[in-house]
Structure 1
Amino acid sequence: MPQNLLIKGPEKGVRLLTLHRPEALNALNTALLGEIAAALDEAEADPETRAVVITGSEKAFAAGADINEMAARDLVGILEDPRQAHWQRIARFPKPIIAAINGFALGGGCELAMHADILIAGENARFGQPEINLGIMPGAGGTQRLRRALGPSLTMQLVLTGEQISAERALQAGLISEICPTELTVERAIRIAEIIAEKAPLAVRLTKEAVHKAADTDLATGLRFERHAFTLLAGTADRAEGLKAFQEKRKPQFKGC
């Protein structure tokens, strides 16, 4: 049983993961990252889970890495850090992830949020990469994902100063897609996940992959992938069901095939 992670569902196709280290503002230690990765592995294997919501508390989504654990590592421990494998498992998750972010999303917490496909923030959310204040730098994708989301200037400002930005500034810069009242953030994220969970699973997976290709490849390569994926979906039973349901003016019943 996870010790630092609360798991609920799936309900209506949605599994809710809640970071639960209140004494440490949900700081991401090795154990918590391992539990997140294992929960996502389980969600990937479960056909009833079609989307995942990740959240923390109203005070902190995740306030960063566990500094006490980090300080205890020597160079060998850093080189053999098992957290890197956990991060890779999280990054490879093929189903949609929606992050419901309240309070602090700093350092590893900001990086975890950026592993999500859709980021919904409460009015009290704060984002930042303060690693520079410890004489280090982001190490779980912060420099790369932040650059793709915010552009070079604001990214440089955040990672070189350690400053934080508000939810409003994050929305203006394109890091998040919505701001909600703090008490409604998780509810809104779950509702978005439920809407996605009603769609054809194969189409959702390939659409997610195609959008990510836009950041990983040149335009011509991305367009080739999009055309290939579109062609694959044309032969699915879900595509036939979607067209038939539209003609019959009813809700489609997608099966994932």
Structure 2
Amino acid sequence: MSAPLLVEEHDDRVVLRLHRPEVRNAIDRAMVDALHDACGALEATPRVALLIGSGGTFAAGADIAQLRERGREEALAGINSSLFDRIHRLPMPTVALVDGYALGGGAELAYACDFRIGTPAARIGNPEPGLGIIAGAGAAWRLKELVGEPLAKEVLLAGRVLDAQEARAAHLLGDVVEADDLEAAGHRLADRIGAQAPLAVRLTKSVLDAPRDAHPLVDDIAQAVLFETQDKIDRMTAFLERRKERS
């Protein structure tokens, strides 16, 4: 049996490739466990993560055969929701690269990422109520934050599946590129993130995710940390020198 997740290591980023193409990368317990392992590595050594599916599909959802057998205790354990929350809280940004279907749990995995880039074949939706359950791993609240309540209700309550252009218009996808350019587009975004000061990116992400009543205290604390770094001094010195050369 092949591994459900292929991990490609780079100096400043990791590519996480969902790898169950025979079932359109349906998210089963083995893939959940593998993604938790990847999160542990990214928490220990923070890097940008690119998530992509194998075989022209991001992830067609949770594994229905396993989901059918789960009961109350499994639901309360938050098997998928705890994983997606952990992905959302990773120290450095995450990018979902969506080709083909991102449905159900696959969509919720994409919603948990900081960025989403798709192809013209991308299809994003949450058909869970048609299977007698709710989208219980983040869609019921994340999607509303991402696209607004009216569109989120169409997806979550009426089974609407967004095509790539609809998702792009709703800013659910930040960009739409051809399939053969999808992974390269993810790397280009990772390059732009990598050009920023790494600690500033990490702290900005934390401040963005902080609750409203934590501001402005968390902003001031993050800035205080950054003001004392050599990276800040070096970058500002280089900026001033470039400006002096141009004048």
- TM-score, scaled relative to structure 1: 0.87
For 1:54 and 1:141, locate their aligned partners in 2 and report how far apart those are by CA, in whole Å: 17
The C-alpha deviation readout for 1:78-114, integer Å capped at 9, x for no partner, is: 3345444433432321111111111101111111011
Maintained 8 Å contact 2:98/2:116: yes
For 1:82 and 1:126, locate their aligned partners in 2 and report how far apart those are by CA, in whole Å: 24
- Alpha-carbon RMSD across the aligned residues, in angstroms, is 2.1
Which residue pairs with 1:231 in the alignment?
224
Aligned pairs (5 A) from 1:29-44: 29-44=28-43
How many Å apart are 1:217 and its aligned residue? Answer: 1.9
Which residue pairs with 1:204 in the alignment?
201
Which residue pairs with 1:5 in the alignment?
5
The C-alpha deviation readout for 1:94-151, integer Å capped at 9, x for no partner, is: 1111111111011111110111111111111111011011111111100111000111
SS at match of 2:136: coil
Match of 2:192 among 190, 195, 198: 195
Which residue pairs with 2:91 in the alignment?
94
Amino acid at match of 1:4: P
SS at match of 1:60: coil
For 1:119 and 1:183, locate their aligned partners in 2 and report how far apart those are by CA, in whole Å: 16
In structure 1, list runs of 5 or more residues that go unmatched. 251-257
For 1:76 and 1:207, locate their aligned partners in 2 and report how far apart those are by CA, in whole Å: 36
Match of 1:140 among 118, 137, 144: 137
In structure 2, list runs of 5 or more residues that go unmatched. none
Aligned pairs (5 A) from 1:63-82: 63-80=60-77, 82=79
How many Å apart are 1:8 and its aligned residue? Answer: 0.7
How many Å apart are 1:155 and its aligned residue? Answer: 0.5
The C-alpha deviation readout for 1:30-87, integer Å capped at 9, x for no partner, is: 11012112112112212xx531111113521011111000112233343345444433
Of all paired residues, the percent bearing the same amino acid is 35
Maintained 8 Å contact 1:106/1:130: yes
For 1:82 and 1:99, locate their aligned partners in 2 and report how far apart those are by CA, in whole Å: 20
Amino acid at match of 2:228: G
Q: Does 1:240 align with 2:239?
A: no
SS at match of 1:62: coil
Please identify, of 162-171 and 193-202, the stretch whose mean Cα deviation from structure 2 is larger: 193-202
Aligned pairs (5 A) from 1:177-188: 177-188=174-185
Higher relative contact order (CA 8 A, sep 6+): 1
How many Å apart are 1:222 and its aligned residue? Answer: 3.3
Q: Does 1:174 align with 2:171?
A: yes
For 1:101 and 1:58, locate their aligned partners in 2 and report how far apart those are by CA, in whole Å: 12
Please identify, of 156-165 and 68-77, the stretch whose mean Cα deviation from structure 2 is larger: 68-77
Match of 1:126 among 123, 128, 136: 123
SS at match of 1:157: helix
Maintained 8 Å contact 1:26/1:56: yes
Which residue pairs with 2:156 in the alignment?
159
- TM-score, scaled relative to structure 2: 0.91
Amino acid at match of 1:232: V
SS at match of 1:98: strand
Provide the aligned length of Structure 1 versus Structure 2: 243
For 1:84 and 1:179, locate their aligned partners in 2 and report how far apart those are by CA, in whole Å: 27
1:76–1:243 distance in 2 versus 1, CA, 3 Å? closer
For 2:223 and 2:3, locate their aligned partners in 1 and report how far apart those are by CA, in whole Å: 42
SS at match of 1:15: strand
For 1:222 and 1:100, locate their aligned partners in 2 and report how far apart those are by CA, in whole Å: 32
